[in-house]
Amino acid sequence: MSVTEQQYAPGEHPDLPPPLGEAGLIAWFKKRLFSSVGNTILTLVAVFFLYHVLSAIIFWTLTGATFTGETKADCDLGGACWLVIGDRFHQFMYGLYPTDQYWRPNLTFILMVVAIVPVLFDNIPHRGKFLLFSAIFPFIAFYLLSGGWGLETVDTDEWGGLLLTLVLGVTGIVASLPIGIVLALGRRSNMPIVRTLCVCFIEFIRGVPLITILFMASNMLPLFLPEGVNFDKLLRALIGVALFSSAYMAEVIRGGLQAIPKGQYEGADAMGLSYWQSMRLIILPQALRIVIPGIVNTFIGLYKDTTLVSIIGLFDLIGIGLVAVADVKWRGLAPETYAFIALLFFISCFAMSRYSLWLENKLHTGHKR
């Protein structure tokens, strides 16, 4: 313990600064990694394995990998052959989008960043105006990507790669949260018809695999529609993905609603707030905060589930990857292709999970749960 414990008369004890953490890197290492013989052995074994795994990964991805060249024959260093990515990079990004129109997805992406930032962070200046832009962004994006009104029309069949994955993921995320909230509130409603409808919807959607919903949306839906009415395949997939994830979202949010003590509802009622006011101002802000990890979990799951659309013939990242792997010129380069796709997914998903951690910390207001 401490070296000099000074004595004070009762009631005279001054406020002292808190004790310093144990100083020094060496002390830290000693305490955490080498505190006993057993721990030292464990540390050494772990280091040994880490070294082998990491050095193999670094060799394959970087030091032993080929970055320049023309054909597969140039890849003779023993590691990964990244040429396939370079060769098909544009397809990975845009799918079959017309080459001379690439500026449109690029511009959409930049505008998307501008639209998302004010939604995610509340401390930026003029947030209100930016939020207005966020609200109209989906329409701008739709116009930019699909064309018409002076821009060359690009069929959604030609959208692909990361572009398509982002369109599916972002639309699914943006749609599933509000639909999920409405479903969750509906399921807890006092009105029997509303409640029954919500329960049926949620249970039905949760009871079937996403892939069947996508198949139904792409193959069966046209059978039910009147002759001649034919709406876009991508749109159908979007609706399928959004409905699917909103059912999950609803249950996550319902969990949050149930965690709110009855006193909060009564406090809001006693003050004369209406149902929608108390939901919006009191209940949902707290419920959503409790379930941030669950919400982000659902978002991440949804984002990755969008890859299933490759099965109904849309060329998202996986769809493009399948084409690349099947290319005779690059035969046998599946690991590189999938590693690249994995990296792209990892970046987005990791960003989402870090954001959720940051948000949880920010919203922590000192009350215990």
Partner 1 sequence: MSNASTNTSKKTDEVAIQLNGVHKWYGQFHVLKDINLNVQRGERIVICGPSGSGKSTLIRCINRLEEHQQGDIIVDNIELTGNLKNIDAIRREVGMCFQHFNLFPHLSVLENCTLAPIWVRKMPKKEAEEIAMHYLERVKIPDQASKFPGQLSGGQQQRVAIARSLCMNPRIMLFDEPTSALDPEMIAEVLDTMIELAETGMTMLCVTHEMGFARKVADRVIFMDGGEIIEQNEPEEFFNNPQSERTQKFLSQILAH
Question: How many residues line the site for partner 1 (CB under 8 A)?
Answer: 22
Using the contact rule CB under 8 A, the part of the chain among 19-27, 104-112, 134-142, 285-293 near partner 1 is 285-293
Using the contact rule CB under 8 A, the part of the chain among 7-15, 103-111, 226-234, 273-281 near partner 1 is 273-281
- Report in angstroms how near the CB of residue 183 gets to partner 1 at its nearest: 23
Asked if 127 interacts with partner 1 (CB under 8 A), we say: no
Closest CA to 187 of 173, 175, 203, 172: 203
Contact with partner 1 (CB under 8 A): which of 66, 146, 264, 297?
264
Nearer to partner 1, 126 or 368 (CB): 368
SS3 category, 323: helix
Using the contact rule CB under 8 A, the part of the chain among 50-58, 94-102, 239-247, 282-290 near partner 1 is 282-290
Asked if 126 interacts with partner 1 (CB under 8 A), we say: no
Asked if 136 interacts with partner 1 (CB under 8 A), we say: no
Asked if 195 interacts with partner 1 (CB under 8 A), we say: no
What is the rounded distance in angstroms from the CA atom of residue 211 to the CA atom of residue 217? 10
Closest CA to 217 of 237, 242, 191: 237
Other CB atoms within a 10 A radius of the CB of residue 15 amount to 4
**Count of CA atoms in the C-beta half-sphere (13 A) of 213:** 22
What is the rounded distance in angstroms from the CA atom of residue 62 to the CA atom of residue 77? 10
92 neighbors 327 (Cβ within 8 angstroms) = no
Nearer to partner 1, 170 or 268 (CB): 268
- Report in angstroms how near the CB of residue 360 gets to partner 1 at its nearest: 13
What is the rounded distance in angstroms from the CA atom of residue 267 to the CA atom of residue 264? 5
Residues 286-325, interacting with partner 1 (CB under 8 A): 286, 289
Contact with partner 1 (CB under 8 A): which of 277, 327, 343, 350?
277
Contact with partner 1 (CB under 8 A): which of 53, 271, 342, 343?
271
167 neighbors 160 (Cβ within 8 angstroms) = no
Nearer to partner 1, 281 or 326 (CB): 281
Contact with partner 1 (CB under 8 A): which of 78, 86, 148, 267?
267
Nearer to partner 1, 264 or 353 (CB): 264
What is the rounded distance in angstroms from the CA atom of residue 212 to the CA atom of residue 21? 56
Give all strands (DSSP E) within the chain, no chain letters. Answer: none
Asked if 20 interacts with partner 1 (CB under 8 A), we say: no
Asked if 74 interacts with partner 1 (CB under 8 A), we say: no
- Report in angstroms how near the CB of residue 262 gets to partner 1 at its nearest: 9
Contact with partner 1 (CB under 8 A): which of 4, 36, 153, 368?
368
Contact with partner 1 (CB under 8 A): which of 269, 313, 329, 357?
269
Query: Would you give the DSSP letter of residue 60?
Result: I
Crossing angle of helices 161-187 and 127-146, in 10° steps, is 120
Burial of 71 (0-12, 13-18, 19+ CB in 10 A): exposed
Asked if 207 interacts with partner 1 (CB under 8 A), we say: no
Structure token pair of residue 232: 């876009």
Phi-psi region of 149 (alpha: psi -120 to 50; beta: other; left: phi over 0): left
Asked if 194 interacts with partner 1 (CB under 8 A), we say: no
Asked if 263 interacts with partner 1 (CB under 8 A), we say: yes
Asked if 6 interacts with partner 1 (CB under 8 A), we say: no
**Count of CA atoms in the C-beta half-sphere (13 A) of 48:** 6
- The contact set with partner 1 (CB under 8 A) reads 263-264, 266-274, 277, 281-282, 285-286, 289, 363, 365-368
